[in-house]
Amino acid sequence: MPENKEIILGGGCFWCVEAVFQNIKGVTEVVSGYGGGVSPEPSYQSIGDHAEVIRVSYSSKTITLKELLEIFFSVHDPTTKDRQGADIGSQYRSIVICSKDEVEIVEQSIRDAQRLWGKPIVTEIIIDGKFFPAEDYHQDFYQQNQSSPYCQVVINPKLAKFRDKFSKYLK
């Protein structure tokens, strides 16, 4: 089995999940983008039926898919359809885009998250869906805009929750 793997995750605004996953030990790259739809050329201005997602590249010798999914289901609300906090719309839906070999792990992680949340999980699973990188100004957004109101009010609390609950995974 190859050591370097990828998973595509959507849990609301890609700036938020990107900021969390960039801090995880074993994650080698995080790219913000669009996925989960059929529109041929999504963009921020014309996202179509896609969701805001991140492509996470990671070393499976350092962190497992199960561990990444545990973090993912803890730092966003997978029980709300087409919404994360004040961000409303289908582009903010909870989604996992994976290979068919990973579906069983994703489904088990959803069952585990179900116990954590106590409400039905609405996360969409797509097998072998396409990923479209977002525009350059969306990449590394938190690192470049930490003092912006959105980062202060929305991203900082997510990062604090991640650091508190998952300190053993911090880079």
Residue 1 in contact with residue 9, Cβ under 8 Å?
no
Picking from 91, 94, 103, the residue whose alpha carbon sits closest to that of residue 47 is 91
Provide φ and ψ at 154, rounded to 5°: -105, -50
Q: Give the active site residue among 13, 16, 98, 151.
A: 13
Q: How far apart are CA 62 and CA 148, in angstroms?
A: 33
Hey, is 149 helix, strand or coil?
A: helix
Measure CA 158 to chain center. Answer: 12
- Our answer to whether residue 13 is catalytic in this structure is yes
Question: Most distant CA pair in the chain: distance in Å?
Answer: 43
Pairing outcome for strands 94-98 and 4-11: antiparallel
Q: How many residues belong to the chain?
A: 171
Q: Point out the residues that are catalytic.
A: 13
